[in-house]
């Protein structure tokens, strides 16, 4: 079964095929109204459950719209309003949902919930973000980079800030797509060393550099994310901000990278914290394309999961 759980768990050639399919599906939609059906209707007759145990704007809307464009139907479910949030096991939820729907997307906290869902579901399961990874986001980011700059293989990507779930999926992508990855941030917020090791084992350069200005030298892409993720304790906010302030992506930092370096952020952004408005609204920022590409990338992921 084609679950889409993580970038490092999905075969390399299939990731590339998903991106190619996303690219061509995006091209065919050119200028159409958002609810206009895709010509081929690959999800006709299919029902998709979208489960959220955390808030979401992009993931929720892009999956929902994507399913509808492809002729399927979707239902958005809040974890807290399901029996899942009141003691029913993940395994039993997976068994039951598999009798009603053809595909499950879940955004949750602990990765074990996603894994249990995938183990017991008899339909494909998609990772819509866990505390540890966010693979759908990175598929959209790869699509975005390549549509602006061509193949990402051999390029230099710099992550500035918290080595969080989105950073982890970028590390997986570095290993799968063959680009150099530099992390710059405080030692306390380093990316998961297991994933750093995994990427290095694929033969790519992964560098950790505490000096942000040095880190971005020669960068083709600079990426950041919120300083306090949904799974982080709000009580740690001030401490995290203090540690992360030197890693803000601002015009001064962008000026140290290649002149045509792109800027990405998965959003939601906290302007004047991890990124200044000058950068986010500036000429090198592709954050809105990146957000749009969630739709196209996930449509391709869903087709791959269902083999349609």
190 annotated active-site? no
137 vs 276 by CB, closer to ligand CP:
137
Q: How far apart are CA 52 and CA 61, in angstroms?
A: 12
- Nearest 5°: the CA angle 17, 19, 24 is 95
Q: How far apart are CA 244 and CA 212, in angstroms?
A: 11
60 annotated active-site? no
Cβ at position 98, least distance to ligand NVA in Å: 27
7 vs 306 by CB, closer to ligand NVA:
7
Confirm whether residue 135 is marked as ligand binding. Answer: yes
Label residue 154 left, alpha or beta by phi (over 0 means left) and psi (-120 to 50 means alpha): left
Active-site position among 294, 296, 303, 305: 294
For binding to ligand CP (CB under 6 A), which residues are involved? 56-59, 129, 137, 266-268
294 annotated active-site? yes
What is the DSSP track for 115-177?
Answer: HHHHHH-SS-EEE---SS--HHHHHHHHHHHHHHHS--TT-EEEEES---HHHHHHHHHHHHH
Only one residue has tokens 């990765």, namely 111
Of 61, 58, 103, 97, the C-alpha closest to 79 is 97
Cβ at position 52, least distance to ligand CP in Å: 9
Q: Residues near 195 by Cβ (< 8 Å), separated by ≥ 6?
A: 8, 168, 171, 172
225 annotated active-site? yes
180 vs 290 by CB, closer to ligand CP:
290
Confirm whether residue 305 is marked as ligand binding. Answer: no
137 vs 182 by CB, closer to ligand CP:
137
Active-site position among 6, 46, 64, 137: 137
57 interacts with, out of ligand CP, ligand NVA, none, CB within 5 to 8 A per kind: ligand CP
32 annotated active-site? no
Active-site position among 6, 46, 225, 240: 225
Q: Residues near 126 by Cβ (< 8 Å), separated by ≥ 6?
A: 3, 4, 5, 103, 104, 105, 106, 136, 298, 301, 302, 305
Q: Which residue is nearest to ligand NVA (CB)?
A: 229
For binding to ligand NVA (CB under 6 A), which residues are involved? 129, 164-166, 225-226, 229-230, 266
Cβ at position 135, least distance to ligand NVA in Å: 12
93 interacts with, out of ligand CP, ligand NVA, none, CB within 5 to 8 A per kind: none
225 interacts with, out of ligand CP, ligand NVA, none, CB within 5 to 8 A per kind: ligand NVA
Active-site position among 3, 46, 134, 240: 134
Q: Residues near 150 by Cβ (< 8 Å), separated by ≥ 6?
A: none
Q: Is 36 exposed, middle or buried (0-12, 13-18, 19+ CB in 10 A)?
A: exposed
97 vs 264 by CB, closer to ligand NVA:
264
107 annotated active-site? yes
Q: Which residues are annotated as a binding site?
A: 56-59, 83, 107, 134-137, 165, 225, 229-230, 266-267, 294
Q: Which residues are annotated as a binding site for carbamoyl phosphate?
A: 56-59, 83, 107, 134-137, 266-267, 294
Which residues form the catalytic set?
A: 107, 134, 137, 225, 266, 294
């Amino acid at each position: 079964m084609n679950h889409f759980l993580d970038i490092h768990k999905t075969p390399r050639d299939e990731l590339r095929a998903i991106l190619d399919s996303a690219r061509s599906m995006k091209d065919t939609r050119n200028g159409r109204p958002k609810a206009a059906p895709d010509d081929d209707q690959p999800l006709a007759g299919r029902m998709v459950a979208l489960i959220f145990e955390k808030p979401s704007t992009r993931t929720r809307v892009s999956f929902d719209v994507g399913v509808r464009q492809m002729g399927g139907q979707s239902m958005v479910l809040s974890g807290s309003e399901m029996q899942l949030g009141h003691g029913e096991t993940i395994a039993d939820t997976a068994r039951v949902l598999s009798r009603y729907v053809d595909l499950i997307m879940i955004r949750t906290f602990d990765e074990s919930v996603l894994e249990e869902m995938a183990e017991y579901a008899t339909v494909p399961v998609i990772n819509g973000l866990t505390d540890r990874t966010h693979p759908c986001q990175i598929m959209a980011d790869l699509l975005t980079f390549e549509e602006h700059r061509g193949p990402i293989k051999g390029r230099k990507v710099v992550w500035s800030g918290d080595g969080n779930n989105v950073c982890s999926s970028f590390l997986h992508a570095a290993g799968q797509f063959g680009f150099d990855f530099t992390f710059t941030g405080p030692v306390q917020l380093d990316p998961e060393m297991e994933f750093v090791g995994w990427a290095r084992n694929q033969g790519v350069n992964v560098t950790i550099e505490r000096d942000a200005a040095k880190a971005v030298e020669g960068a083709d892409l600079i990426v950041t994310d919120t300083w306090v993720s949904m799974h982080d304790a709000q009580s740690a906010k001030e401490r995290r901000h203090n540690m992360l302030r030197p890693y803000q992506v601002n015009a001064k930092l962008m000026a140290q990278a290649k002149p045509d370096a792109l800027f990405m952020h998965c959003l939601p952004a906290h302007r004047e914290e991890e990124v200044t408005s000058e950068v986010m609204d500036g000429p090198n920022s592709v954050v809105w394309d990146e957000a749009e590409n969630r739709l196209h990338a996930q449509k391709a992921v869903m087709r791959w999961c269902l083999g349609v």
